[in-house]
């Protein structure tokens, strides 16, 4: 690019970058303030790094309970998604059987059914089977929601594993299941990490499915917990901001370490297929 436009563009882009970061900085600063400090001046840097609001949000407000609920549900959902997704992905990419391509297309079609379209009947199915307001119910709802995407990504990944590797393992006397367990799972580790992180984010960030499947207060996940804080603490913004921060920090940490894997998952399917 010519010299002048470079800076002409760079300055707005830098401003945009600041605008992207500022909201979280502002929230962190508010979380560190006392209520009085916030009412007097919401923009000034907090007088001291005070963890009092964070501790309050974690203990007496109940964020720790919501946090634990989210961790349980996300961990179980991701584990199940990776297990079922890799089994299906391996079979679709590496086993020859009648109807495999039709099946793959069917799964792709399921990818385009948004939750909003099926939420009424799904809620009814869950209620009829007694799964509403239970951990297995929410886990099952998440697995159903994100499994097509997981299978799609893992199938395309396993399709890139050279056939010779599978052949060699078979000649060494492995059964199909042995090939899956001893060869495909370890080889697929990078894809499993990428898909796993993405699914963890989807489940962690969800609010709609959780609202419908976990109505009771003690089973609230973290995001639903944050929405419930809004009404309760509308006159105590620093505590509210602390709750928001507690929900955001795990995502920030994951992002700092696994940004590349997240981006890989997001962009898969955009350049080929």
Partner 1 sequence: MAAQSLSAVDAAVPASTAGVTSARRNRRGSRAERLAPLVLLAPAILIIVGLRLWPLVLGVNFSFTGDGDRNGVAVGLDNYLTLLGDPLFRTALRNVGLLVLLLPVAVAIPGLLATFIYLKVPGHRLYRGVYFFPAVLSPVIVGAIFNLLLAFDGPLNALLGGLGLGPVDWLGDPDVAIFAVVGVHVWATFGMALVVFLAGFATLDSSLLDAAKVDGASLTQTIWHVIIPSLSRTIQFVFVTTMIGMLTSMFGLVYVMTSGGPEGSTYLPEYYVWIQQGQLNQPALASAASTVLFLIMLVVGLAQVAVLRRAGKEE
Residues 238-257 that bind partner 1 (CB under 8 A): 240-241, 244, 247-248, 251-252, 254-255
Q: Of 59 and 175, which CB lies nearer to partner 1 in the complex structure? A: 175
Q: Of 103 and 187, which CB lies nearer to partner 1 in the complex structure? A: 103
Report in angstroms how near the CB of residue 240 gets to partner 1 at its nearest.
7
- Position among 82, 153, 223, 261 found at the interface with partner 1 (CB under 8 A): 223
Q: Of 68 and 230, which CB lies nearer to partner 1 in the complex structure? A: 230
Q: Whose structure tokens read 């489940």?
A: 203
- Position among 4, 21, 49, 102 found at the interface with partner 1 (CB under 8 A): 21
| Region near partner 1 per CB under 8 A, out of 2-10, 54-62, 71-79, 188-196 | 2-10
Contact set for partner 1, span 130-189 (CB under 8 A):
140-141, 143-145, 147-148, 151, 159, 162-164, 166-167, 170-171, 175-177, 179-180
Verify binding: residue 43, partner 1, rule CB under 8 A: yes
Q: Please say whether the beta carbons of 143 and 83 come within 8 A.
A: no
Report in angstroms how near the CB of residue 166 gets to partner 1 at its nearest.
5
Verify binding: residue 9, partner 1, rule CB under 8 A: yes
Tell me the C-alpha distance between 81 and 75, whole Å. Answer: 10
3-state secondary structure the chain: CCHHHHHHHHHHHHHHHHHHHHHHHHHHHHHHCCHHHHHHCCCCCCCCCCCHHHHHHHCCCCHHHHHHHHHHHHHHHHHHHHHHHHHHHHHHHHCCCCCHHHHHHHHHHHHCCCHHHHHHHHHHHHHHCCCCCCHHHHHHHHHHHHHHHHHHHHHHHHCCCCHHHHHHHHHCCCCHHHHHHHHHHHHCHHHHHHHHHHHHHHHHHCCHHHHHHCCCHHHCCHHHHHHHHHHHCCCCHHHHHHHHHHHHHHHHHHHHHHHHHHHHHHHCCCCCC
Tell me the C-alpha distance between 41 and 25, whole Å. Answer: 16
Q: Of 8 and 51, which CB lies nearer to partner 1 in the complex structure? A: 8
Tell me the C-alpha distance between 89 and 68, whole Å. Answer: 31
Q: Of 49 and 163, which CB lies nearer to partner 1 in the complex structure? A: 163
Q: Of 11 and 68, which CB lies nearer to partner 1 in the complex structure? A: 11
Report in angstroms how near the CB of residue 219 gets to partner 1 at its nearest.
16
Contact set for partner 1, span 110-129 (CB under 8 A):
110, 112-125
Q: Please say whether the beta carbons of 161 and 94 come within 8 A.
A: yes
Verify binding: residue 216, partner 1, rule CB under 8 A: no
Contact set for partner 1, span 71-110 (CB under 8 A):
84-85, 87-88, 90-97, 100, 103, 106-107, 110
Report in angstroms how near the CB of residue 181 gets to partner 1 at its nearest.
11
Verify binding: residue 62, partner 1, rule CB under 8 A: no
Verify binding: residue 271, partner 1, rule CB under 8 A: yes
């Amino acid at each position: 690019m010519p010299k002048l436009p470079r800076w002409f563009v760079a300055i707005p882009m830098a401003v945009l970058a600041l605008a992207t970061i500022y909201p979280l900085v502002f929230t962190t600063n508010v979380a560190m303030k006392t209520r009085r400090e916030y009412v007097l001046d919401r923009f000034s840097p907090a007088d001291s790094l005070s963890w009092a609001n964070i501790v309050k949000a974690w203990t007496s407000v109940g964020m720790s309970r919501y946090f634990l609920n989210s961790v349980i549900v996300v961990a179980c959902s991701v584990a199940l998604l990776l297990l079922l997704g890799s089994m299906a992905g391996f079979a679709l990419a590496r086993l020859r059987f009648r109807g495999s391509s039709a099946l793959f297309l069917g799964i792709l079609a399921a990818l385009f059914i948004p939750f909003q379209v099926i939420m009424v009947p799904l809620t009814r199915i869950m209620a009829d089977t007694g799964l509403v307001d239970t951990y297995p119910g929410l886990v099952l709802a998440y697995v159903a929601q994100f499994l097509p995407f997981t299978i799609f990504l893992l199938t395309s990944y396993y399709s890139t594993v050279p056939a010779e590797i599978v052949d060699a393992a078979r000649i060494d006397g492995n059964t199909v299941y042995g090939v899956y367990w001893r060869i495909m799972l370890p080889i697929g580790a990078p894809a499993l990490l990428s898909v796993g992180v993405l699914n963890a984010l989807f489940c962690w960030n969800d609010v709609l499915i959780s609202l419908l499947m976990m109505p009771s207060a003690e089973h609230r996940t973290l995001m639903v917990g944050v929405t419930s804080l809004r009404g309760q603490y509308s006159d105590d913004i620093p505590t509210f901001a602390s709750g928001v921060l507690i929900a955001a920090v795990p995502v920030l940490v994951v992002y700092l370490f696994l940004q590349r894997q997240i981006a890989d998952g997001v962009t898969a399917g955009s350049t080929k297929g």
